[in-house]
Every structure is written in structure tokens, then in C-alpha cells.
Amino acid sequence: MTAPDTATGSSLAPPAATPSRPPRRGRGGRIAVAVVASLAVVVVAVAAFSIGRLSTLAEPTPTTTSAEAGFARDMQVHHQQGVELAMIVRDATSDDEVRLLAYDIATTQAQQAGQMYGWLASWGLPQAGREPSMTWMTRPAADGSGHASHGADGSADDAAHEPGAPMPGLATPEQVAELRTLSGVEAEVRFLELMVAHHQGAVDMAEAVLDRSSTEVVVALAQSIVDSQTSEIELMESMLEERGAAPVE
């Protein structure tokens, strides 16, 4: 699977077909619980999206420079890389736990990317904006304040986002290329490290749009991203610890 240009997010295409599910081999426990919880979040998000479609007549349609449109465009790019990383590690390991996590990430993020593609189409907006990526995140929040990024521990980070700068948590082309060269436990550890950072960036972006939007479908999906990916960060950190790797800072 080829991700779009992650530096600019200038061209978006409909998300690829959902990958086939790997066979389970009888390993339940925490990863199964995490998958069930994540799927439940998707069901809630889809239901909220359907209900929100019916209520859009009462809501102003977002403009092309709105936080809602910027979030939809940039998070599609972010999610498409998440799918790419997950598919890489699925082919690089035989560990059932990692493969099931990767499947869950790939299917969930592909579905959510499709949802956001649909928003833009229903709003009559282009999939590619005329402003640099992340511009929406530099504008004041609804209460007039700026948005500080948050680390996995919830602490604020004063680093400001700049229009056109790499999205938070996005892996570099070099990191993606490195992951492709690894296998076994090495691939598992590198994937988990990259995906923890990737999820932290997605949570930061979702929190930013929650500060800037009252559009029902956007708020519902953004909150589901915060909830599910925060839970998965905790899971992946424990998986890293089991493999003797240092926690992601």
C-alpha cells in the first residue's frame, strides 16, 4: 500500500480496500479485549455519523478553510500511514498478538479515513485544500486560546504547529523504509515505537479539533479517536516492555 505525500497531504484518494483478516490461533486476553473495545468505538462512531448526516441541515456547512475540513484532510493522510505501517508489520512477524493489533489498526483507520472522505464530499469541499497542511491547527480554539500539544501522560507541550510542517507523530520516509527491512521481534519493537508516537500525534490532532468544532459528526469521531488510541497506546507500551524495549518518550 502506498501512502500519499505525508509532507504536504496535497492529494488524497479514496482509502484502499479493507485488508483480509489474519487467522486467529486461540490467543485471547488483553489484545482481544482491546480489539472488541476498538470495534465498539467504530460502531458508535458510524452510528453518530449516520445520525449526524440527518442533522446537518440544522448545522452550518464547514468551509474549505475550517478546522473541520482541515482535520478531515490531514487525519486522512495520518490514518493512511497508520494503515501502511500496520500492513508492513503484519508481513514481518508471525506473532499473533502483534498481527491482530495491526489488523485492528488497519481496519479501524481505513474505515475512519473513508468516513472523513465522505464528509468532504457531502460538504461539497475538495479533498485537497488550498492551504498547507496543519494550518487549521494554528488558528485559535473556540474559546480564543491556542492549542498545546499533549504527551501520552497528558502533560502540555509548548511546541507550536506550523503550517506545512510534518503532522504530529507521522513517521518519516526513512523510518518507514527501515521498518520494511526488519522482521521478527525487531520489526515488532520498531512498529510499536512508531505506532505509539503515531497514536500520540493523532490524539493531539483530535483534541485540537475538539477545541475548535461543534459539528456533531466531527466531535463524535474525534472523541472516539482520543478514547480508542489512548487505550491502544497503553497496550502498546506494555507490549514494548514485554519485549525489553524502552518506553517511547
3-state secondary structure string, the chain? Answer: CCCCCCCCCCCCCCCCCCCCCCCCCCCCHHHHHHHHHHHHHHHHHHHHHHHHHHHHHHCCCCCCCCHHHHHHHHHHHHHHHHHHHHHHHHHHCCCHHHHHHHHHHHHHHHHHHHHHHHHHHHCCCCCCCCCCCCHHHHCCCCCCCCCCEECCCCCEECCCCCCCCCCCCCCCHHHHHHHHHCCHHHHHHHHHHHHHHHHHHHHHHHHHHHCCCCCHHHHHHHHHHHHHHHHHHHHHHHHHHHCCCCCCC
pLDDT in tens, 131-148: 999 999 999 887 665 544
First-to-last C-alpha distance (Å) of the chain: 28
Give the Cα separation of 142 and 136 in Å (integer). Answer: 12
Joined grid coordinates for residue 83: 494503515
pLDDT in tens, 31-90: 655 555 555 555 545 554 454 444 445 679 999 999 999 999 999 999 999 999 999 999
Residue 29 has pLDDT above 50, yes or no: yes
Where in the chain are the domains? 29-128+165-242
Interior CA angle at 219 toward 213 and 222, to 5°?
110
Mean pLDDT confidence for 116-126: 98
Joined grid coordinates for residue 53: 448526516
Tell me the CATH number for domain 29-128+165-242. Answer: 1.20.1260.10
| pLDDT bucket at 11, cuts 50 / 70 / 90 | very low
pLDDT of residue 57: 52
Q: Are 113 and 79 in contact (CB under 8 A)?
A: yes
Give the Cα separation of 209 and 223 in Å (integer). Answer: 10
pLDDT of residue 248: 83
Give the Cα separation of 74 and 58 in Å (integer). Answer: 26
Q: Are 8 and 133 in contact (CB under 8 A)?
A: yes
| pLDDT bucket at 223, cuts 50 / 70 / 90 | very high
Nearest by Cα to 162 from 10, 11, 7:
7
pLDDT in tens, 144-188: 655 444 433 333 343 467 888 889 999 999 999 999 999 999 999
